[in-house]
Amino acid sequence: MRRMINPAELTILKDALDTLANGFSELPDFEADIDTDAIDAVLQEVAVRMQDNYPYHHPRYAGQMLKPPHAVARIAYMLALWTNPNNHALDGGRASSALEKECVQAIGTMFGLDDPLGHLCGGGTMANLEALWVAGRLHPGKKIIASAQAHYTHARISEVLALEFAAVSVTDAGTMDLEALESVLAAGDVGTVVATLGTTGIGAVDPLPDILKLARKYEVRVHVDTAYGGYFTLSSELASAARDAFDVIAQADSVVIDPHKHGLQPYGCGCILFRDSSVGALYKHDSPYTYFSSAELHLGEISLECSRPGAAAVALWATQQLFPMDVGGEFAQDLDRSLLAARALWNRVEQSNLFKALMPPELDIVVYAVNGADAASISEHASEVFHRAASKDLHLALIELPVDMVRHYWPDLIANRDTVRVLRSCLMKPEHLDWLDDMWPLLEAAVKPSDDD
């Protein structure tokens, strides 16, 4: 049996649970009645069913935006499940709400926000929904705009909120085109521009300093969606344009970051922050049965979601203790390693005649085309490579890019298709840098299979 977990994790969990239980030892004895044999049997079945997943925890998984939670987050989350706090109200999660407030403050500090209003939530979708909901309340009837490479959630959320949405075209690097932005803004019907710092597809960083300038000129809000990219603000390896963008996040009206993307958390952990805490008034509601235990802020009073896992806050808080969000710290160095891994893969691709390098990675996502003559055949080939690599335990992802964008990097590609399917690797694990030597031959073999493949 190959080892996937360190057994010490279970010992740590048990020790922490004993300490937690000590806090309640004054209560009369009580233990829920469970049928351990039945649970054991069903868990064996679950474990077998769960084998039908790609190996997201392993460095050979270099596909979609998936990063395993750190052991400290996993254990802290499990620890919290024995009391299962609900961070909606202090009645449901006094201790875990306090931890959440500290976590959110720390994220605000990372971005240079002194006194933000914010909270954790289910993920980037929910966090962006809150940002655009507030945007719509403050600029009713006005448009939301985001780049054509922004996450599709912005168009869909706008639909949910009955706000008009428009996409702004992008440069060949996949970042928001400033001339296009200004011509949209000049029409006067825009309320909020969404800047993406790290697009989900290719990791492109929108030019936030210029976007802020234009937004001031046309008096529109700026929302920063850095669900995936946000923690890279701690990196020492960013190119200057990206560095400049991350450095002015605090000037935006709202920011979204997903601790469950690059923050080592299990799924179910997004975060929304508003620069101006007075937007909290927009959330005002009167629940007849929720907020009784104290006059202190209940997180449910500033959040659209009601019940939320206190466990998510517990896990994030524990992680932030072990890995403070410091420039130059261990957490930041791991992010740098991901960035370097992406550049190293891009360099190999650039030197190989089996592939065509496209835009150099700004963060840790690399997109690369299989060499060939025309858009249709290389798209087919990319899908074959994806499957062949997976059969050798190297897991990649695919993305469709506009053919004009690809032709900027590959002018003689025949454009017999509107989009080109290319390979995509999110190198989010710090181990990826060391594993490139292991992965590269598999990648080459997937493009050029030998007879015995």
Contact residues toward ligand PLP (CB under 6 A) are: 123-125, 128, 151, 153, 196, 200, 225, 227-228, 258, 270
For residues 37 and 43, give the distance between their C-alpha atoms in angstroms, rounded to a whole number: 10
For residues 266 and 97, give the distance between their C-alpha atoms in angstroms, rounded to a whole number: 18
Output the smallest distance, CB 317 to ligand PLP, in A.
Answer: 19
Output the smallest distance, CB 150 to ligand PLP, in A.
Answer: 7
Strands 270-274 and 254-257: antiparallel
79 vs 181, which CB is nearer to ligand PLP?
Answer: 181
143 vs 151, which CB is nearer to ligand PLP?
Answer: 151
125 vs 347, which CB is nearer to ligand PLP?
Answer: 125
Output the smallest distance, CB 169 to ligand PLP, in A.
Answer: 18
69 vs 124, which CB is nearer to ligand PLP?
Answer: 124
Which helix (H) or strand (E) segment is 261 a member of? helix 259-262
123 vs 430, which CB is nearer to ligand PLP?
Answer: 123
* CB contact at 8 A, 396 and 388: no
Output the smallest distance, CB 227 to ligand PLP, in A.
Answer: 4
3-state secondary structure 91-125: HHHHHHHHHHHHHHHHHHHHHCCCCCEEEEECCHH
Output the smallest distance, CB 257 to ligand PLP, in A.
Answer: 10
Output the smallest distance, CB 220 to ligand PLP, in A.
Answer: 20
256 vs 420, which CB is nearer to ligand PLP?
Answer: 256
For residues 373 and 37, give the distance between their C-alpha atoms in angstroms, rounded to a whole number: 60
**Cβ atoms within 10 Å, residue 409:** 17
- Tell me the residue number closest to ligand PLP, measured at CB: 124
Output the smallest distance, CB 256 to ligand PLP, in A.
Answer: 7
- Given phi > 0 = left and psi -120 to 50 = alpha, else beta, which region is 84? left
163 vs 403, which CB is nearer to ligand PLP?
Answer: 163
* CB contact at 8 A, 76 and 317: yes
Which helix (H) or strand (E) segment is 225 a member of? strand 221-225
Report in angstroms the alpha-carbon separations of 212 from 141, 220, 222, 244: 21, 9, 7, 12
